[in-house]
Amino acid sequence: MKGLICLLCALALDYSLAADWGYDQQGNDWPDSYEMCYDGGYSHQTPINIVTGEAVRNDLLVPFQFSSSWLDDVADGLISNNGHTFQFSDNDGTRKVSGGGLDGTYTFLQVHFHYGSSDSYGSEHFRDGFQYPAEVHFVTINNAFQTGQVGRLAVLGFFIEIGERDSELFGPIISQISEVQDYNTANNASKDNVINFGALTRLDLDHYFRYYGSLTTPPCSPVVVWTMFKKPLYISESQYDQLLTMTDGDGAAIENNFRRLM
């Protein structure tokens, strides 16, 4: 059985119904309005610095299993600029994932990005004290869990590095950023030009870090099973720059949209 790296610790989905928060202080001011964002009162907060030397290897974990619809690059969904990030929300509800130590079957909801103001930093999680240029989260939900219950959400996260070539996986969706550059804009994604989901399933998904954490945006609910894959993904510098063309509600560039380490 393939070896899987699992970080076992009792410590999110970057999703919020509220719009009265921002990244000016990288989340330091959120506890003033959102009690659960206070790391002193709630120990299961995200993001964290993943220390490889403290991870516990678990060879009993089985590989992830993806439904056949993940192999279909045609998707029905919405691309949007919510003032905090660039996001693709899936309308199909057919992409399922299980295995990988997850408790049941999860349905893909959306994917979004976190990044800095330059391509030298921007990820939410760190690894051994190193902050990557960006991070992407594939958010899934298991409706067998009640709202607010630990494990209701599972996020498949990848560190992002800068490479010389455009990303096969994200190239189609990033090319559509120009359609939602302004705050609070959304557009139906081109069904045959969204995300190369098939390429996602061909990645090295057998080595990852696992822990229980929280949403990384208000209300910071500790309901997320986090999976951070060991091997980073790559996008080109020009693709990174495209992310920086979006603006928030004040007309400023959306950048440095990462929460501080908890």
Tell me: the pLDDT tens digits for 194-234?
777 888 888 999 999 999 999 999 999 999 999 999 999 99
Report d(CA 116, CA 133) in Å as an integer: 7
Report d(CA 83, CA 128) in Å as an integer: 30
Q: Does the pLDDT of residue 40 top 90, yes or no?
A: no
pLDDT at 191: 59
Specify the range with the lowest mean pLDDT, choosing from 6-20, 104-118, 136-150: 6-20
Q: Does the pLDDT of residue 184 top 50, yes or no?
A: yes
pLDDT at 11: 31
Cβ within 8 Å of residue 46, ≥6 positions away: 11, 12, 124, 125, 213, 214, 215, 216, 224, 226, 259, 262
Q: Does the pLDDT of residue 5 top 80, yes or no?
A: no
Q: Which of 191, 252, 221, 210 is nearest to 58 (CA)?
A: 210
Quote the tokens at residue 211. 């822990």
Q: Does the pLDDT of residue 16 top 50, yes or no?
A: no
pLDDT at 41: 59
pLDDT band at 189 (very low <50, low <70, confident <90, very high): confident
Strands 126-127 and 49-50: parallel
Q: What share of the chain has pLDDT > 70, as a percent?
A: 88
pLDDT at 192: 59
Q: Which helix (H) or strand (E) holds 212?
A: strand 208-213
**What is the maximum alpha-carbon separation in the chain?**
52
pLDDT at 42: 56
Q: Which fold has domain 4-243?
A: Carbonic Anhydrase II (3.10.200)
Over range 70-94, report the average pLDDT. 87
Q: Does the pLDDT of residue 1 top 60, yes or no?
A: no
Q: Are 180 and 86 in contact (CB under 8 A)?
A: yes
pLDDT band at 70 (very low <50, low <70, confident <90, very high): confident
Report d(CA 141, CA 13) in Å as an integer: 10
pLDDT band at 43 (very low <50, low <70, confident <90, very high): low
Report d(CA 26, CA 50) in Å as an integer: 19
Chain position carrying tokens 């004290």: 129
Q: Nearest 5 degrees, angle CA 46-CA 234-CA 88?
A: 60
Question: In this predicted model, which residue has the larger pLDDT, 69 or 195?
Answer: 69
pLDDT band at 6 (very low <50, low <70, confident <90, very high): very low
In whole angstroms, how far apart are CA 20 and each of 32, 56, 83, 103?
12, 39, 11, 33
Q: Does the pLDDT of residue 7 top 50, yes or no?
A: no
Over range 14-43, report the average pLDDT. 79
Q: Are 19 and 83 in contact (CB under 8 A)?
A: yes
Q: Are 142 and 106 in contact (CB under 8 A)?
A: yes
